[in-house]
């Protein structure tokens, strides 16, 4: 079995009046998720909040892990139970956003990204939609575990743009997948192998869009304590201009 400790810090950044990010850190559920709302002030904040609430509620309701229960989306036999719980939670989040937009025309066009880790019974999965990211710290090396569902992310993977070009590109905020209330999003889900001493970083692009992986690696290795590490990462993003909301969750794995 493994024990996970966590901390989170969320900050509006230097150029935004409000904070459209949302998060859940639920050690009792093994759920850690960050959402980055889009669609302007209020609407983006609503989308991210609704998504977090829907994912958190479904994960809570499925703690019995009964594969015979009625699922709101088709059960995917290619995924384990934890993977299905997250995938279904993301689907329910999408439907919550759709309902909110149908009820209030002023919310139309809102959307949110989301990145999550769910740990259960000694195993874990990561799921994401959009450009919020999950990194793993192992042996001092920080590895990005998620691929951005964004226009610039696709160009980087195709070799057309460099990482530095992507961070400056005028289309850097254009996502290609999101929880937006339309067709259920294509949720990317992967199993995680947990080892004693592993660290995980979940963040919105207010962090990853400003600091390089190498810069993040230096900070997480040089800072003691999860809360202090989150604060140091947020400070570094703000020191670099803080153009967007910044949410950082840090996890530490101890195998018992």
- For residue 35, give the H/E element and its range: strand 31-38
Contact 29, 59 (CB under 8 A): yes
Print the domain residue range for 217.
2-255
Number of domains in the chain: 1
Contact 38, 20 (CB under 8 A): yes
Task: Supply the CATH number for residue 25's domain.
Answer: 3.60.40.10
pLDDT of residue 170: 59
pLDDT of residue 43: 92
Contact 166, 154 (CB under 8 A): no
Which of 80, 83, 71 lies closest to 128, judged by CA? Answer: 83
What digits encode the pLDDT tens for the residues 49-84? Answer: 999 999 999 999 998 866 667 778 888 999 999 999
The average pLDDT across 231-245 equals 97
Residue 124 phi/psi, 5-degree rounding, is -150, 155
What digits encode the pLDDT tens for the residues 122-136? Answer: 789 999 999 999 999
How far is the C-alpha of 251 from the C-alpha of 236, rounded, in Å? 19
Residue 210 DSSP symbol: T
Q: Taking 60 as the threshold, does the pLDDT of residue 106 lie above it?
A: yes
């Amino acid at each position: 079995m493994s024990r996970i400790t966590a901390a989170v810090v969320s900050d509006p950044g230097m150029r935004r009046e409000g904070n459209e990010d949302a998060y859940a850190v639920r050690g009792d559920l093994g759920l850690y998720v960050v959402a980055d709302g889009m669609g302007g002030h209020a609407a983006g904040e609503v989308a991210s909040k609704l998504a977090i609430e829907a994912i958190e509620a479904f994960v809570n309701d499925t703690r019995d892990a009964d594969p015979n229960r009625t699922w709101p989306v088709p059960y995917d036999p290619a995924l384990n139970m934890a993977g299905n719980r997250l995938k279904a939670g993301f689907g329910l989040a999408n439907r919550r956003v759709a309902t909110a937009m149908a009820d209030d025309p002023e919310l139309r066009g809102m959307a949110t990204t989301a990145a999550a880790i769910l740990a259960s019974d000694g195993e874990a999965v990561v799921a994401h939609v959009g450009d919020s990211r999950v990194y793993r710290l192992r042996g001092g090396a920080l590895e990005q575990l998620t691929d951005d569902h964004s226009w610039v992310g696709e160009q980087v993977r195709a070799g057309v743009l460099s990482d530095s070009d992507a961070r400056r590109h005028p289309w850097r905020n254009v996502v290609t997948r999101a929880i937006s209330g339309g067709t259920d999003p294509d949720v990317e889900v992967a199993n995680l192998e947990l080892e004693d001493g592993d660290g995980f970083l979940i963040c919105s692009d207010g962090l990853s869009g400003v600091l390089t992986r190498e810069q993040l690696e230096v900070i997480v290795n040089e800072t003691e304590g999860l809360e202090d590490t989150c604060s140091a990462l947020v400070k570094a993003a703000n020191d670099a201009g803080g153009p967007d909301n910044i949410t950082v969750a840090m996890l530490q794995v101890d195998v018992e």
